[in-house]
Structure 1
Amino acid sequence: MIAINDTVFDQTYFRHAADRMAAEAQLDKRAGDRFAVCFSAAQDWLAFFFAARAAGASVLPLHPSTPYAAARRQAETAKCNWLFYNRLEGEPICEERASEAGQLLQMSSGTTGEPKCIARAWSEIDDEIESYTSTFVEPQDMTPLIAGPTSHSYGLICGVLVALKRGQSPAVLDTGNPKFLLRKLRETERPYLISSPAILHTLARLLPSGEHIHATMTSGTLLPESWFRQIRAKSKYMFQQYGCSEAGCIAINPDVQAANEVGYVLPRFSLRDAGTAGDPKEITVERKDVAVETRDLGYRRDDGMLVFLSRLDDLINVSGLNVYPKEVEDVVMTFARIGDAVVFRKQDAFAGERVALLFSAEHAVDRTQLRQWCAERLAAHQMPTEILQVERIPRQANGKISRRDVAARYGAGEFGPVRTEAA
């Protein structure tokens, strides 16, 4: 049984819906094909997913808000044979047939920022779910609420499929309306909220004094320190998971005490490299003699906890000195009522790279005062040399910030200064 917003869909519904979709999409004749799927209704997408997986087909889930042109472009990049865009009449895309068995396809970006398709076999997904549920047992008696798209692997695998493996009935909340989310939390016994940092932060701010969320799970990007403190204070239990598109979930923290403590490595992996606190390195794990390079800089503590420092691609090198963007963002967000911030690299003729900052706040912020605040708390090489207040920090559909994208848009002059009245 899966609830979607206020409607419950039982096993019979999904069995009949999946059978109907399998027949209309002719999955029996297209078992080895690749399907790009974009449905606005979560129950339609999930029914198609169950049908395609049972048929041994490969599936590329697309976010329900994806425009048709973008959906077709992603389908072409992933070399999908068919695009199903809000209807069961598939549109042919590519005639070339893949030789691999059925896979879950995901679009990601490499170090160059160019989109690429990550393919993971269904057997690999099964192994991930088995390792996840056998190792991370804390939510076993909780009710999973998935506040995010099930077209993303976080909501699909760690939300829906893990819950079903545990014999639970997950609830998918695919609206960003915070009042609705708060109502569902209050209606649910021992809710376990699986969502993005941005949504968790919003709910933590809106919860009245003395009211808590039973359990929260965050993933995808590290919480700014001020966000972390608010969410941690409002969560009876707080969990965090860490992974990448190529490998799925790599580590889980069953009791989060600091935002950068991303978890203990799941037994399906061995940790090949992670460095030490004094000598951090790229986090690299290994499974079945295959190395997965995460492009994340961090280290492993003596107790086994993985500590994340920065994306290697986001590291800023100022005259040979490393700047971790999150350290600067955490300082900035302790000033006045600044609610969000992003630090990124700016090319510099003398230092090679410099630190640039965009931030948003409820009121106009005096940049001279902000610079002084930073100067008292940051080393000289960490100081932002360019500061701009904007209406809103641009985030992707999954709540993440792409520093590469922000830097490109900033360089193109896309961000104008915010127009607010001085406090």
Structure 2
Amino acid sequence: MLYIEETIYTEQMLTDHPVCRLSWLTDPARTVVAVCVKDAASWIAFCLYMKRINGTVVPLHPDLPEAGARRLAEQAGCDYLVYHDFQQPIRLTAAKPRPGGLIQFSSGTTGDAKVIHRTWASIEQELTAYDQCFPLPRTTGTIVACPTSHSYGLICGILATLHRGATPVILENLSPRHVLQVCQTHPDAILYAGPGLVYLLSQFKQRLFAVMISGMTLPAVWFEAIQNVTDHLLQQYGCSEVGCIALHPAPKTAQAIGYPLPHLQIETGTSDQPAELRVKTEETWVGTKDLMSRSENGELFFLSRLDEMINVSGLSVYPADVEDVLLRHVDVEEVVVFKRSDRLQGERVCVQLVSTATEETLRHYCREQLAPHQYPTDWTFVPAIEKLPNGKVSRIRLGVTS
């Protein structure tokens, strides 16, 4: 059973949904279908149907224009694209048959997405491990206030909730006041939402029962604001190739991303010698390109993306450390730190920010808060920081184009 906004859908209603008996889908277990629809009920019913019969489905964000949806569907090797209408699919070039599962696209910060195929069996293994580590009661429902075309909303928000026998509430209206109202209506549910939305909700000072954060390491000021209004703050970490990798029942800092799920093997560094986090699934090791450390009790700490760390004369600068300091200044609204090549130091620290303060004021502030090798050298003041379609900032692109 699940809710979409205030409408309840039983298991039988989803099983009997018209999308589970489409005339054009004659061999669903051998057909790859991309779905780009705004009707959440149709999408969820179809996804659950394809999971049951071991078909292959490609969820696409419902706001994609048709040309963009078609390009991604072709890139994923789909037989059909359902664009807003399940009854009139777009026929594409026949694809090579694939084992049933979920096809998604990586959402890194370079802007170059790659096709990721995960079998339903691997997802079921993830759900079982996720369920074992979920620290709240099994009956805890979920409020999904994020795209269900993404694995965070779909796998962790919906499928994991159904897996443990609880009820997900899927929101289509993501206005902050509406989300808060739904949280009041379901006071014992955990909220799954994007970091920006959760931070915005924290500004209303309304008490929240439980919140799961994921998708990026939060600025310290955001993390603290959310922590101050939440009874149970949880954090999870993952990547497209593997799914959820770690879950934290009570992080003390934004960098504390959790403890590895039990079905995975991992390799990473220590606090003295950080290293890339590598994860083994079945017989394959996957490099995450994330620089991490692991404490003696197994807790993972995120430091930086490997390609975003700044090497200033042999000293490591993590962009988040500088960003956290600048965001604590009362006149700084938004900031991103990135690197450029430097003839003398190897690399230098650069910053782009939205602020009413002067460069001189902020330079003085940084000298009081940071080590000399962390001081930003290049300062660019902008009306807004440009983001990729996935909502993230590309520090690499900024270093090339700024």
Is the shorter-chain TM-score for this pair beyond 0.5, marking a shared fold? yes
Shift of 1:130: 0.6
Shift of 1:189: 2.5
Among 218, 221, 229, which residue is 1:226 paired with? Answer: 221
- Cα RMSD between the aligned structures? 2.0
Shift of 1:73: 1.2
Instruction: Identify if the C-alpha distance between structure 1 residues 222 and 25 changes in structure 2 by more than 3 Å, giving closer, same or farther.
Output: farther
Shift of 1:51: 2.3
**1:100-131, CA deviations, whole angstroms, 9 ceiling, x for partnerless residues?**
31021111167975321010000000000011
CA distance in 1, matches of 2:203, 2:155: 28
Name the structure 1 match of 2:262. Answer: 267
Instruction: Identify if the C-alpha distance between structure 1 residues 406 and 11 changes in structure 2 by more than 3 Å, giving closer, same or farther.
Output: farther
Shift of 1:25: 5.4
Asked if residue 152 in structure 1 is aligned to residue 135 in structure 2, the reply is no
Tell me the amino acid that sits aligned with residue 9 of structure 1: Y
Secondary structure, aligned partner of 1:115: coil
CA distance in 2, matches of 1:215, 1:262: 16
Unaligned runs of 5+ in 2: none
CA contact (8 A) 2:109 2:395 kept: no
Asked if residue 213 in structure 1 is aligned to residue 211 in structure 2, the reply is no
Shift of 1:186: 1.4
5 Å-filtered alignment, 1:13-412, equals 13-17=13-17, 20-24=18-22, 26-88=24-86, 89-98=88-97, 100-108=98-106, 113-207=111-205, 211-271=206-266, 273-361=267-355, 364-396=356-388, 399-407=391-399, 410-411=401-402
**1:69-119, CA deviations, whole angstroms, 9 ceiling, x for partnerless residues?**
111111121121211110122212222323x31021111167975321010
Name the structure 2 match of 1:415. Answer: none
CA distance in 2, matches of 1:4, 1:322: 47
Shift of 1:240: 0.4
Secondary structure, aligned partner of 1:384: coil
Unaligned runs of 5+ in 1: 412-423
Percent identity of paired positions between Structure 1 and Structure 2: 38
CA distance in 2, matches of 1:87, 1:405: 36
Secondary structure, aligned partner of 2:251: coil
CA distance in 1, matches of 2:214, 2:30: 32
Instruction: Identify if the C-alpha distance between structure 1 residues 71 and 406 changes in structure 2 by more than 3 Å, giving closer, same or farther.
Output: farther
CA contact (8 A) 1:196 1:398 kept: no
Shift of 1:318: 2.5
Instruction: Identify if the C-alpha distance between structure 1 residues 244 and 147 changes in structure 2 by more than 3 Å, giving closer, same or farther.
Output: same
CA distance in 1, matches of 2:392, 2:173: 17
**1:373-399, CA deviations, whole angstroms, 9 ceiling, x for partnerless residues?**
112222232222222333333445654
CA distance in 2, matches of 1:367, 1:139: 50
Shift of 1:236: 0.5
**1:294-324, CA deviations, whole angstroms, 9 ceiling, x for partnerless residues?**
1110111011101110011211222332211
Instruction: Identify if the C-alpha distance between structure 1 residues 137 and 77 changes in structure 2 by more than 3 Å, giving closer, same or farther.
Output: same
Tell me the amino acid that sits aligned with residue 125 of structure 2: D
CA distance in 1, matches of 2:390, 2:113: 16
CA distance in 2, matches of 1:111, 1:160: 25
Aligned residues: 401
Tell me the amino acid that sits aligned with residue 123 of structure 2: I
Secondary structure, aligned partner of 2:202: helix
Tell me the amino acid that sits aligned with residue 94 of structure 1: T
**1:347-385, CA deviations, whole angstroms, 9 ceiling, x for partnerless residues?**
334433322222235xx2222101111122222322222
Instruction: Identify if the C-alpha distance between structure 1 residues 139 and 314 changes in structure 2 by more than 3 Å, giving closer, same or farther.
Output: farther
Instruction: Identify if the C-alpha distance between structure 1 residues 43 and 397 changes in structure 2 by more than 3 Å, giving closer, same or farther.
Output: farther
